[in-house]
Structure 1
Amino acid sequence: MKKLLLLFLFGLSSVFAQTDKFQKIDSLLNFLYTNNKFMGSLSILEKDKIVFSKAYGLAELSSGKKLNPATKLKIGSITKTFTATMIMQLVDEKKLSLDTKLSQFYPKVANADKITIAMLLHHRTGIPDFLNDDPTVAQYIYIENKKADLLKRIEGYTSAFEPDSQFKYSNSNYNLLGYILEDITKKSYAENLHTRIVKKLGLKNTLLPLKIEPTQNEGYSFTFNGNTWEQTPEWHNSLAFAAGAIASTSDDLNLFLSGLFNGKLVSPAALEQMKTMRDNYGKGLIIAPFDKRKFYGHTGGIENFRAAAGYNMEEKTGFAIVVNGDNFNRNEIMIGVLSLFYGNDYQFPDVKGFTVSETLRTKYVGTYSSKSLPIKITIAENNGALTAQATGQSSFPLTAKSETEFVFDTAGIQMIFGDQKMVLKQGGMEFEFTKE
């Protein structure tokens, strides 16, 4: 009887420990949500089963509709993992080869006779990115981008480098892969997504939407203006297409990666190809390390949606987050979640910031220019807090860390103010601005 009692107590302690870590994760996300740092959903997979699934915040502003775990949100470039999976299915079906040249489909693209399907998957083509390298892209974000029109723009680009000589991330590569998928199958990308992945895995909330439909439990993204959340204008989904237009849930992302890594979508040989890294990028996959663990997955961002999903093969554990209220660094959120899940030491972040006097805030307000960058940054005051706005971009709130240091954690931006000057730090780079 004593032995049975001990086993029973051991079982209870294990359950309580599991509950405790999930309660801590829930507390962290509630803490960020109530401090206007985060809205979105998180899902955790253990031994290929969903063990945590919660949503926080709004799906639509006008109606005040709340998010729930089944609310479909855009996942941005995690779409590329879906696209790569379907391309590898065509390879398995011998309808396509990794050595097939782009010229077989789109010979007018620069260096098409040298670019292979494998190079497109690995971002090693030299094809400029229609989103980040094309200065005219602003005029196309909110209108329909028909295949013929976007192809014509891509065909007009000059190659950035010799194919396969280096890595450079380009959304153009994956839109071309999406077009090739359609050409070979004679079906739309959306149809292929449904039959090749969604139906096979029994996913409930993954699709390529034409536009956000709140009545279909689909949510918008939001920007925090320093005082309140504002609904972010929606892009036309035809622009992001096979590079970033899928909408899904954190649960479905976990189930997708679980299905992919457990042989439900591609052959073992194809999966090994996808996992093979070149310049830290596989075929639609990246590796995210945590401690000694290795998670295969991808990240994404579109409008003000941010997403990340990763799967650990050894533990059969997965984490997926889809953010639709982006006001805190997505990676920092995931570090907090993973730390609490694995029992590491972790302190909740300081989100309140440092109180700066009105005199100093007023002193920093103004427009700043730099000899090193072709942009100006306008610092303004809004309800006792500072905001920053770069030329041609939306404004964003600044959190004070001291009387002179302000940050925007979402983008890893640090601003240090001095006498009529401001130093901008981001991504290991540093630029000096002078107040006009």
Structure 2
Amino acid sequence: MAAHIRTAWQALQSICLLTLATLLPQPAFPQQHDAPPGRLAEQLDGLMTAYTSTGLFNGSVLISKAGETLLVKGYGYSNLAAGTLNTATTKYPVYSITKSMTAALILQLAERKLLTLDERLSRFYPTYPAADSMTISQLLTHTSGLYPYNNDYSMPTDSEEAMVRFLAGRALEFKPGSQWQYCNTGYYLLGFIVEKTTGLPYGKALDSLLFRPLKMKASGLDFRALQATGKATGYRFLYPGSGSEARLYPQEELRSSGGVWSTVEDMLKFHEGMQHHRIISPASTRQAYTPYQKSYGYGWFIDSADGRQIVSHSGGAAGFRSLLVRIPDSNTCIVLLANAENVDLAVIKDGILRLLSGKDYEVPHSVEVDSARLSAIAGTYRLEPGRSLYIKSIHRRLVAQVSGQQPALLLADSSGCFRVAGMNGHLEFIGRQPGLYDSVALFRKDRRHLGVRVNATWGIAGSALPGGWSAPDIVMLPANGQPGVWTAMNVRLLDGVIKFRFNNDWTFNLGAAPGSKMLEDDGPDIAVKAGTYTISLHLQSSTNPVFIMRRE
């Protein structure tokens, strides 16, 4: 633990938060190099059990090396309310790992000379104005310049025609091939191109060219519509004893960019198919693993560690996170499928790779902290204009989130300190009276940020405000005697849209699907008509928040 210097602050009550990364030079578990498979399997299971018990993981895992499966197991709950547990056969959406499969289909079709990778899109979309300026290869590598749709309902996805019509009305983000920008839209089009060249719907082409040859019998499309046992429930957050279910996207929002569901065992079969060239040739595999821009190949992110190439892809959207990591040289495969959005799989992957490579590794741990102390720390701390630190107390745990960043679970140890997996820095919460914390010092990347506790409120933003999106938020006030209810009266709106956001910050914002009063995190803009309203937010239930608008 880093030295905690006290001078004039000795009389102040403080909590020190340190990261796992800070502690790695003094590892809890020195690793035995070239550990036998049985010992390695035991260590891997112990590591994943620790991640689960501390609230850092909930899902299923498969780890294999040199063709031998070292660990295949479920951890935590498949459905918290029902008490069902995750297993090795639990089914999850893999989301953007679908892109690796779509890329494999395109490479198969190129091998069969049904298309070429440098072919212009004008063959498939002759009426699309920009089609002659971009290639299939640029769709595969995220260098096409197409509008980068991100499941925010800003582009119609109900049909191919609607998408192409929308794209035809927009200028390209950049000249094709000149830049890199992660783009779901390009992989939608690749799926349509698969359909055009094979004469099959994307799902049937995927089944014929990939699932059946690899005997992936526990994989398919459209998780939301799946009626099967062993289907995981997805959660916005899931900690020991507490969770909030997520609303899943319909299949037309995902398609060939993120629509596949699978199991860890089937994902191993996909790895083996790629490893042994059962679906594409060695030459096509080399193309897939060649980084073009931003270390991205044909459907794979390309990296290296200890002189060995690593190819991987992650996935993440409503309720789930996924990660497939492969080291072709050692025939190593790591599959992590989680049914909670608050899981940081990259941190877990790093720990697994350290263990597999014989390096020292850290096992997370946490001790219980008095709930009154956690509640006293929880709140909003303004670090600088437009940037805040949010601390929540959730089921005897603290969760920290900086504006615009992902939340991180804080782990308490026996010394009274907290640790954060995956964040390189530490914090001190300062209280001038016992049990009252009014400021914070954040130390990160050799910089020190100071912040003070603020009384933050919900507000209303949008184009329907007289000043538009750039106008100050309309402040909502807590309703007397009604915890979780916020109200704004005499709100004058124009024809347009609104959203609700906390602390004048987009980190926590709420929207709603057309015609619905049910609010969603990062949900769609809410269309409104001109008039004067009383508007209230009802946030008593974290799973069913709603809004009410009454015209005055």
TM-score exceeds 0.5:
yes
Compared CA separation, residues 205 and 19, structure 1 to 2 (3 A): same
| RCO higher in structure (CA 8 A, sep ≥6) | 1
Compared CA separation, residues 104 and 332, structure 1 to 2 (3 A): same
Equivalent of residue 275 in structure 1, options 260, 281, 289: 289
Matched, 1:67 2:86: yes
Compared CA separation, residues 298 and 16, structure 1 to 2 (3 A): closer
Equivalent of residue 324 in structure 1, options 339, 350, 361: 339
Distance 1:431 1:168 in 2: 31
Equivalent in the alignment of 1:315: 330
Compared CA separation, residues 352 and 246, structure 1 to 2 (3 A): farther
**Sequence identity, in percent?**
25
Equivalent in the alignment of 1:292: 307
Deviates more, 1:39-48 or 1:276-285: 39-48
Matched, 1:136 2:154: yes
- Aligned residues: CA RMSD: 3.8
Equivalent in the alignment of 2:76: 57
Compared CA separation, residues 210 and 38, structure 1 to 2 (3 A): closer
Matches of residues 285-434 of structure 1 in structure 2 within 5 Å?
Answer: 285-352=300-367, 355=369, 358=372, 361-362=375-376, 365-366=379-380, 371-372=385-386, 379-383=391-395, 385-387=397-399, 398-399=409-410, 409=421
Query: Residues 76-103 of structure 1, C-alpha deviation per residue, up to 9 Å, x if partnerless?
Result: 1111000000001110111111111122
Distance 1:123 1:146 in 2: 21
Q: Give 1:306 deviation, angstroms.
A: 1.6
Distance 1:76 1:405 in 2: 36
Equivalent in the alignment of 1:8: none
Q: Give 1:339 deviation, angstroms.
A: 2.3
Distance 1:152 1:431 in 2: 47
Please list every run of 5 or more consecutive structure 1 residues that lacks an aligned counterpart in the other structure. Answer: 1-13
Compared CA separation, residues 214 and 149, structure 1 to 2 (3 A): same
Equivalent of residue 126 in structure 1, options 145, 149, 157: 145
Deviates more, 1:234-243 or 1:165-174: 234-243
1:298 is paired with a residue of what secondary structure? strand
Distance 1:412 1:151 in 2: 43
Matches of residues 194-213 of structure 1 in structure 2 within 5 Å?
Answer: 194-209=207-222, 211=224, 213=226
- Report if aligned partners of 1:261, 1:313 keep a CA contact under 8 Å in 2: yes
Distance 2:162 2:425 in 1: 36
Equivalent of residue 158 in structure 1, options 158, 171, 179: 171
Query: Residues 294-313 of structure 1, C-alpha deviation per residue, up to 9 Å, x if partnerless?
Result: 22231211223222212222
Equivalent in the alignment of 1:229: 243
What number of residue pairs does the alignment pair up?
Answer: 413
2:213 is paired with a residue of what secondary structure? helix
- Report if aligned partners of 1:60, 1:214 keep a CA contact under 8 Å in 2: no
Distance 2:251 2:375 in 1: 40
TM, length-normalised to structure 1: 0.81
Matches of residues 14-33 of structure 1 in structure 2 within 5 Å?
Answer: 17-33=36-52
1:297 is paired with a residue of what secondary structure? strand
TM, length-normalised to structure 2: 0.65
Q: Decide which structure has greater helix share.
A: 1
Equivalent in the alignment of 1:7: none
Equivalent in the alignment of 2:14: none
Equivalent in the alignment of 2:261: 247
Q: Give 1:171 deviation, angstroms.
A: 0.7
Whichever residue aligns with residue 69 of structure 2, its letter is: I
Distance 1:397 1:336 in 2: 17
Matches of residues 106-125 of structure 1 in structure 2 within 5 Å?
Answer: 106-107=125-126, 109=128, 111-125=130-144
Which protein is bigger by CA-based radius of gyration?
2
- Report if aligned partners of 1:254, 1:309 keep a CA contact under 8 Å in 2: no
- Report if aligned partners of 1:73, 1:249 keep a CA contact under 8 Å in 2: yes
Whichever residue aligns with residue 290 of structure 1, its letter is: A
Q: Give 1:22 deviation, angstroms.
A: 0.2
Distance 1:395 1:154 in 2: 30
- Report if aligned partners of 2:219, 2:263 keep a CA contact under 8 Å in 1: yes
Equivalent in the alignment of 2:23: none
Please list every run of 5 or more consecutive structure 2 residues that lacks an aligned counterpart in the other structure. Answer: 1-32, 431-436, 457-552
Distance 1:228 1:429 in 2: 35
- Report if aligned partners of 2:64, 2:332 keep a CA contact under 8 Å in 1: yes
- Report if aligned partners of 1:122, 1:282 keep a CA contact under 8 Å in 2: yes
Compared CA separation, residues 384 and 58, structure 1 to 2 (3 A): closer
Matches of residues 82-121 of structure 1 in structure 2 within 5 Å?
Answer: 82-107=101-126, 109=128, 111-121=130-140
Compared CA separation, residues 65 and 103, structure 1 to 2 (3 A): same
Matched, 1:266 2:280: yes
Q: Give 1:428 deviation, angstroms.
A: 11
Distance 1:44 1:333 in 2: 12
- Report if aligned partners of 1:221, 1:324 keep a CA contact under 8 Å in 2: yes
Deviates more, 1:120-129 or 1:213-222: 213-222
Q: Give 1:197 deviation, angstroms.
A: 0.5
Q: Give 1:421 deviation, angstroms.
A: 6.2
- Report if aligned partners of 1:102, 1:116 keep a CA contact under 8 Å in 2: yes
